[in-house]
Amino acid sequence: MPLLTTESIILVLVLVGGAIFLAVRLIFEHSYTYWKKKGVPFLKPKFPKGNANYFIPRDATYAGEAKYWFDEFRKRGYKFGGVWSGNRPVLVLTDPEYIKDIITKDFHHFIDRDFAVNHRDLLTVHLFNIRNPEWKSLRQKLTPTLTSGKMKIMFDGVLKCSNYMIDSLQKDAQIGSDINIREVLAAFTTDVIGNVAFGVDCNSFDESQNEFRKNGRLLFRTSFTKSLKRFILSYFPNFFHLLQLKLTPAALDFFVNVVKQAMEFRSKNNVHRNDFLQLLIDMNQEKKDGEKPFSFEQIVANTILFFIAGFDTSSTAMNFTLYELSRNPEIQEKARQEINKVLLKYDGQVTYESLQEMSYLQQCIDEAMRKFPSLITLARICTKDYQLRNTNIIIEKGTSVVISTLGLGMDPEYFPDPEKFDPERFTAEAKASRHPYIHLPFGEGPRNCIGLRFGIMQTKIGLVKILTNFRISVSPSTKMPLTIDERFFLLKSKETLHLKAESLI
């Protein structure tokens, strides 16, 4: 039998490739009839992206395209509508009552987050990713570690880290240099999480190549290879597992070793610290009949989750609050006056109790998170068939349901003149006049952010320390206004925010 020529091989490959392409297109085109058959209003998809902005995603779930979907359905007067991410049908909610149904009232139909998860990876055993029934058990175990009482225990560690930040900012203020405030806040939150989640004092402001800061960056680094793996996991999960691929970041070994060394040191030297890691260690050592012990893998995964959530969401909230206060000096001054007035009652000391009395500062944070929510989308998977209230429409098991927190916050019907920064939108009276499921910076319902108390505490401490020590303004080198990078579901701006700081002491 004669050997195939190079030309013949190329021809065969072209034919096979063409056949695969046509087969995939037919599968996608068939999927694109899904919402029409159900009688659900939809946006016209395009092969192969559907209604997504990117065929190969940069993140593990929906990003800025959800804001566009939300806006389109709102303009057309729909309370919900159908789109496609690739060939996956996605239901988009725009009505706060339906949102309440999905994430709270009928939560048992939508327990799982729609997040690309690979159960071979150590990181998938943490609370954000894990799916039911494991999620419920883990949530119950972790909830007692993040109560108000536990926040008070960790308070002094956070406050100590803020002093490193102020020392660094004083140096910048003295020479009048531009301050990359996101990097400053990232160093602060890295120190905080290093302290309370890993039990390590790691002054990131002293070392430009601090190991925690360097490996923290690696957790957030994206690449084409990583995006391609997420694409395969999202659309072809069986193929992903067949190839035994993993999404584990390069920094994982560093964090595993830090936790291991910290646990060994505390055990050997009988050391007990008031931090999050100690709370997990105590859970690991508890013996309860009929329950699986809290494993070392769960300790590592959930300390890393604590790092990611506490590092990124809090630094983002502080970053954009400072951005808006810098642009609105009269509001900045009003916030500073409130802070100083409250601190007078506490002998000038920042305490857990004093933070609770700073209501106007909280309004500023809420308003900044309305415009710039740390999580710009919430996504849930339907875990058992569900009928939308007052309709004949059945959401089938496995269907993704998406809520745009960014869309809700910038909707002019809910927030007139949405581009304006106005903390008065979040007085007690103003909040009472709105539907409670319009402003969702930490999610809502049983699967809301478990660390919201810690996030708010960390954010307030950082802002209080900065505002009592400095008057801040936007540097002329900053390209204004800041715009959102819609490739990522964790909020980032396309531009770098540089501030100027004038010392007040």
**Could you report the per-residue pLDDT of 35-44, keeping only the tens digit for each?**
999 999 999 9
> Which residue, chain included where needed, has tokens 């789109």?
83
Q: Which residues of the chain have pLDDT under 50?
A: 1
> Residue 227: what pLDDT?
61
| Whole-angstrom distance, CA of residue 327 vs CA of residue 444 | 30
> Residue 1: what pLDDT?
46
Q: How far is CA 169 from CA 28, 185, 298, 360, in A?
A: 54, 11, 37, 24
CA-nearest of 169, 189, 165, 193 to 179 is: 169
Mean pLDDT in the chain?
84
pTM recorded for the entire structure: 0.86
Confirm whether residue 364 is marked as ligand binding: no
Write the class of the CATH domain 38-503: mainly alpha
The ranges assigned to domains in the chain are 38-503
> Residue 99: what pLDDT?
97
| Whole-angstrom distance, CA of residue 381 vs CA of residue 399 | 6
> Residue 107: what pLDDT?
93
> Residue 499: what pLDDT?
97
> Residue 18: what pLDDT?
58
User: Given CA atoms 226, 231, 234, 239 in this order, what sign does their dihedral have?
Assistant: negative
Instruction: Sort 320 into a burial class: Cβ within 10 Å, 0-12 / 13-18 / 19+.
Output: buried
